Amino acid sequence: MESIFTHVASRELNSFRCRKRPRFDGFVSGINETAAMAVQHNGQDSIPLSLSFCKTSKFSHILALSDEDGYLNLFDTRRHFTGTTSFEENAEKSKICEWATHFNAVFDVCWIKEDTQILTASGDQTMKVWDVQEKKCIGTLIGHSGSVKSMSSHPTNADIIVSGSRDGSFRLWDLRCRPAANRFGEPNICTSMTVVKGAHVSSQSKRVRKSKAASMSITSVLCLKDHVSIATAGAVDSVLKFWDTRNLRTFVTQTCPHPQTTEKTRLHGISSLSQDDSGLLLSASCMDNRIYLYNILQLEKGPLKSFSGCQIDTFFVKAAISPDASHVVSGSSDGKAYVWQVNKPQEQPLALKSHDGEVTVVDWCPTEVGKLATASDDFTVRVWNKNSYVYNRKSPFSIRRRVMAMPSTECKMLLSNEDTCPKSEDKTFLSNETLHQPIKSDTPITPPKVHTSEGLMDQLSSGFDQTESSEKTPESTSKSPSSVLNPPSSLKRTIRDYFLASS
């Protein structure tokens, strides 16, 4: 018999029950490689640096890959290949298109606006916005003074972007705000609305003048699901910081794997952050060869669980939690990828052994449970799946809708019968008919209109290039709004209200 706590945990806001995500606790024991493709251009191998599946159900089989030479590649991961064909042949058959995006390495990619646009972050200190159908740059984001290492888009407003750089800062961007004129003489230049410098500089590094061991690089940024919070991590130590975009003078709170230890024992940087679909769990890949899992609502308790068995020798090795929060996958410097079950962290992980070099980047398919991709310094990208459990969890006949906890919110249907795919016969972006043809469309896709939350718009409208210091002062603390992670009873637009209904 299910307890009352089980029923409460399965409810959405406004007392509606929701369908549970499909999860298969035993999938780890039988995951198989379904495809392996070479990463190369004009016959020259290139090292992959980032992976990202499309986010919408219709195009979630499309995998974007960026590499060291500045190219962006799109692969169709529905194709399965046998061992009789070469990696180069597999790439030729599954590659939809490729194009040069930067004259430098591309460290991160981010799909936005119903997968019609994609952002690229580069070692040339810029980010670019691309129209995927036309393979055309429609915006350049300039402001960082170091390589841009990480990006994340707002969960409901794709025009809001946060980026982290090797220069030690993270910046907040609004793609809708572009000055009429700029010193570069180009109409598509976008400058950041807010910048926080020195976000991850430890007290020890301040006493070491330009020490290589005291790197201030921001390695990962993440927009949280409450619409106003940002999580950041750096190379200097294992501390995670959480920021309120309504006031970036200082961080709201911070956490680390071992809060009781000394400063010297925490000098293990974080290589990547990820969150599940609910936004409740956050994973941090640490340079101490462990993956730490945090509960966003209980950050003061430190990590809930940790996963060991992988080898993380460089900041290029990333990890990711699955969308349904049932598994964690990580690359490894020993040439393998490792998969753990979240509810069994003490068990040995499954090792995916096909790669011949350091496995760096990984990503989960957002709609097919058990499907993931890995890339390695062996110049290949590989797709894995649990063949008996290929299941699309975003059924077109049942779409779950999240209702924000507002004081006057009326009850709404959380399940609605509607088709997620267009009913028209038009050949649009990456359709089956145009899968291996130039990406063109006579009927452009119009992304849905979305809006920034009121609190964030107040912050963004304060002016261009607003610089905030991350130094914590009594004045800034007193003027800082109440923490979204520790909200007062009068404020209901918080991360706690995102998960919990009022009792």
Give the three-class secondary structure for 460. Answer: helix
Distance CA 269, CA 44 (A): 33
Q: How far apart are CA 62 and CA 327, in angstroms?
A: 21
Distance from C-alpha of 161 to C-alpha of 225, rounded to nearest angstrom: 14
Please provide the DSSP assignment of 212-227 as one string. GGG---EEEEEE-TTS
Q: Check which CATH number belongs to the domain holding 137 and give it.
A: 2.130.10.10
- Bridge-based pairing of strands 466-469 and 32-38 is unpaired
Q: Which domain holds residue 250?
A: 49-204+213-292
The answer to the question of residue 279 being in a domain is: yes
Within-domain flag for 386: no
User: How high is the pLDDT of residue 178?
Assistant: 74
Instruction: Find how far residue 147's CA is from the centre of its chain.
Output: 18
Going residue by residue through the chain, which has 503 residues, state the pLDDT in tens, using 9 for 90 and above: 445 554 455 444 433 344 444 554 555 567 899 999 999 998 999 999 999 999 999 999 999 999 999 999 999 999 888 778 899 999 999 999 999 999 999 999 999 999 999 999 999 999 999 999 999 999 999 999 999 999 999 999 999 999 999 999 999 999 998 765 555 556 588 989 999 999 998 755 444 444 443 489 999 999 999 999 999 999 999 999 999 999 999 999 999 998 766 555 557 999 999 999 999 999 999 999 999 999 999 999 999 999 999 999 999 999 999 999 999 999 999 999 999 999 999 999 999 999 999 999 999 999 999 999 999 999 999 999 986 444 444 433 333 444 444 443 333 332 233 443 343 444 445 544 444 444 443 444 344 343 444 444 444 444 444 455 554 443 344 444 344 444 444 444 556 565 554 44
Residue-level pLDDT at 422:
41
Contact 230, 173 (CB under 8 A): no
The tally of CA atoms less than 13 A away on the side-chain side of residue 78 is 14
Helix (H) or strand (E) holding 375: strand 372-376
pLDDT of residue 27: 52
pLDDT by residue (tens digit) across 311-335?
999 999 999 999 999 999 999 999 9
What CA–CA distance (Å, rounded) separates 500 from 498? Answer: 6
Specify if 185 maps to a domain. Answer: yes
CB 241 within 8 A of CB 254: yes
pLDDT at 384: 96
Domain-embedded: residue 503 = no
User: Is 111 a member of any domain?
Assistant: yes
* Residue 156 CB-half CA count within 13 A: 16
Domain-located, residue 125:
yes
- State how far the Cα of 129 lies from the Cα of 110, in Å rounded to an integer: 9
Q: How many domains does the chain have?
A: 1
Residue carrying the six token digits 């730490």: 292
Does residue 242 form part of some domain?
yes
Contacts of 341 (CB under 8 A, 6+ apart): 25, 28, 326, 327, 347
Tell me, yes or no, whether 150 lies in a domain. Answer: yes
Among 248, 163, 266, CA closest to 467: 248
What is the predicted pLDDT for the residue at 339?
Answer: 97
Distance from C-alpha of 403 to C-alpha of 371, rounded to nearest angstrom? 28
List, in order, residues 6 or more apart from 137 with CB less than 8 Å away. Answer: 101, 128, 129, 130, 131, 188
Q: What is the pLDDT of residue 285?
A: 98
pLDDT of 426 reads 43
Half-sphere exposure (Cβ direction) of 451: Cα atoms closer than 13 Å: 4
